Amino acid sequence: MDSIKKTDNFVFQTYLRQGKAFVRGEGTSLWDEDGKEYIDFLAGIAVCSLGHCHPRITEAINRQASTLVHVSNLFYTMPQADLASKLCEKSFADRVFFANSGAEANEAAIKLSRRYFQKRGDKNRFKIITMEQSFHGRTMATLTATGQDKIKEGFYPLLEGFSYVPFNDIDALKNEIDETICAVMLEPVQGEGGIIPADPDYLKAVRDLCNDKGILLIFDEIQCGMGRCGTLFAHEIYNVIPDIMTLAKALGNGLPIGAMLATQDAATGFDFGSHATTFGGTPLATAAALEVVNIISEETFLDQVRQKGQYFKDKLEKLKEKHSRVVDVRGEGLLLGLEVDKDAGFFVGQLMKKGFIINGIQDKVLRFAPPLIIEEKEIDRLISVLDSLL
C-alpha cells in the first residue's frame, strides 16, 4: 500500500481513485499489489485498446527506446514520417499535426479553425459550435468547448467564442449558425456524455449544413476512434467525412500521443511558426502508434471487433429485458453504455470486488470500453456478475 500512501500524501487530489494500486498488466488482465487479477473492461479509459503490454507494441517501444527517443520537431524522424503517411493513407486527411494528448489535439483543431478564416481576412469568423453533454478536454479552450457545466466550475471567466446546442438536433444547430461561426465540433459517439451515438441522418445533415454555410466540420474521435466502434474511425460508420479530426487515447495504446488530421484545404490555416509543441510526435510515441495502426488495420481485426461488440450489446439488451433497473443500452462496437435508474457507483464498486474494472459516467451510466482483444468468455463472466447485482 506504499504507493497509495505516497500518492495520497504528495500528488494533487484531483482524482477520486478506487483504492487499488496496479503493478502488472497482460492482455485484458491487471494485477494489484496483493496479486489479485482483474478483467479490464475500461482499458485505461479506452486507451489500451490492444490490451496491456501487447508484445508487438512492447517490442516497437523497446527497439525505438534503444535507438532514438527525442530530437524535437526542428528535425525529421522516420517514425513520425511513417505514422503521418499511414494515417493519411487510412483516412480522408492530407496532413497530420502531432501532439501529446487529446486535449492538445483538440486545442490545435480549435486554433486551426480560427486561423483558417483569419488568414483569409474573415476575422469575424471565430466562434465554434459544440454539443451539449460533449467532452473535449481540460485545457482552458477545450473545457470551454465542452458542453458540460460541471467541467467548468471554478474556472470562470471562460474563453469567448463558443456556443452549445443539443446533440442530434439539426434545427437547433441551424438556428445557431451565423456569419461569426467558423466550425462545428462534435463527437460521432459522445463518450463522457453518456455513450450517445449520433443519429446517422443527423451527421449527414450537419455535413451538408457546413458545406452550405462554408464552415469547417471537426470530429473529435479521441475516445470513439481507432477501432473502438468497429471501424478504424467512427465516422466511417456514418459515411460522413469531416474537414478536421482529432485522435489520441488508443493511438498510442498507453504512450501519450495525440493527432489532429486535416484536409489540405483546412491545413492551410497553419504555416511556419503558427503552432508547435515540444514533445508532439516523438520517435518513441510515433513508433508505438505506428504499430497500433498496423495491428488494428490487419485483415479481420475490425470484423472481430464488430462481432464482439454486437455480442456484448445483445447480452446487455437481455439484461434490460430482464431487469427493471436498466433504463437503456447504447453505443457502437466496443464502446457501450448501460444506463441504470440510479447510482452507477454501486455497480462500479461491486464489480471491482468481483474482479472487473469498469467506470460510471453521468451518475447513471456504466461505461464499457474493454481492450478490443476481449474474448466472448470474458464478456460472459462480466454479464453473469452484473446480472446477479441487478
> Which CATH number does the domain housing residue 283 bear?
3.40.640.10
**Cell numbers describing residue 194:** 453518456
Q: What are phi and psi of 128, to 5 degrees?
A: -125, 135
> For the chain, what is the radius of gyration of the CA atoms?
21
The whole-angstrom separation of Cα 111 and Cα 273 is 13
* 164/276 same-domain check: yes
Identify the domain containing residue 331 by its residue range: 2-53+302-389
- The pLDDT of residue 227 is above 90: yes
Calculate the CA 212 to chain-centre distance: 28
Which pLDDT value is given to residue 226? 98
* 83/218 same-domain check: yes
| Residue 324: band (very low, low, confident or very high) from pLDDT cuts 50, 70, 90 | very high
The whole-angstrom separation of Cα 136 and Cα 246 is 10
Single out the residue in 296, 315, 334 at which a domain terminates.
296
Single out the residue in 270, 296, 322 at which a domain terminates.
296
Which pLDDT value is given to residue 16? 87
Average pLDDT, the chain: 97
Q: Which helix (H) or strand (E) holds 10?
A: helix 2-10
Which pLDDT value is given to residue 19? 85
Instruction: Quote the number of domains for the chain.
Output: 2
For residues 334-358, give the mean pLDDT: 97
* 159/35 same-domain check: no
In 3-state terms, what secondary structure has residue 260?
strand
In 3-state terms, what secondary structure has residue 84?
helix
Tell me if 283 sits within 8 A of 146, measured CB to CB.
no
**Quick one: which of 136, 355, 75 has its CA closest to 260?**
136
* 45/61 same-domain check: no
- Span 201-219, pLDDT tens digits: 999 999 999 999 999 999 9
Which pLDDT value is given to residue 1? 60
- The pLDDT of residue 18 is above 90: no
* 61/49 same-domain check: no
* 184/214 same-domain check: yes
* 263/306 same-domain check: no
Query: Picking from 3-12, 96-105, 108-117, 212-221, which range would have the lowest pLDDT averaged per residue?
Result: 3-12
Single out the residue in 238, 271, 296 at which a domain terminates.
296
Alpha helices in 39-148, H assignment, sequence order: 43-46, 55-65, 78-90, 102-118, 140-145
* 82/185 same-domain check: yes
**Other beta carbons less than 10 A from residue 295's beta carbon:** 18
Which pLDDT value is given to residue 379? 98
- First-to-last alpha carbon distance for the chain, in angstroms, is 32
**Cell numbers describing residue 38:** 482483474
Tell me if 100 sits within 8 A of 138, measured CB to CB.
no
- The pLDDT of residue 276 is above 90: yes
* 150/205 same-domain check: yes
**Quick one: which of 77, 42, 25, 95 has its CA closest to 223?**
42
Tell me if 215 sits within 8 A of 249, measured CB to CB.
no
> Which CATH number does the domain housing residue 41 bear?
3.90.1150.10
* 280/333 same-domain check: no
The whole-angstrom separation of Cα 116 and Cα 267 is 8
* 125/258 same-domain check: yes
- Span 41-98, pLDDT tens digits: 999 999 999 999 999 999 999 999 999 999 999 999 999 999 999 999 999 999 999 9
| Cβ-proximal residues to 60 (8 Å cutoff; 6+ apart), any chain | 287, 288, 290, 291
- Span 183-197, pLDDT tens digits: 999 999 999 999 999
**Percentage of the chain with pLDDT > 70?**
100
The whole-angstrom separation of Cα 203 and Cα 216 is 14
| Cβ-proximal residues to 93 (8 Å cutoff; 6+ apart), any chain | 87, 245, 261, 262, 263
Q: What are phi and psi of 141, to 5 degrees?
A: -70, -45
| Residue-level length of the chain | 390
For residues 118-132, give the mean pLDDT: 96
- Span 141-163, pLDDT tens digits: 999 999 999 999 999 999 999 99
* 377/271 same-domain check: no
Exposed, middle or buried: residue 279 (CB in 10 Å: 0-12, 13-18, 19+)? Answer: middle
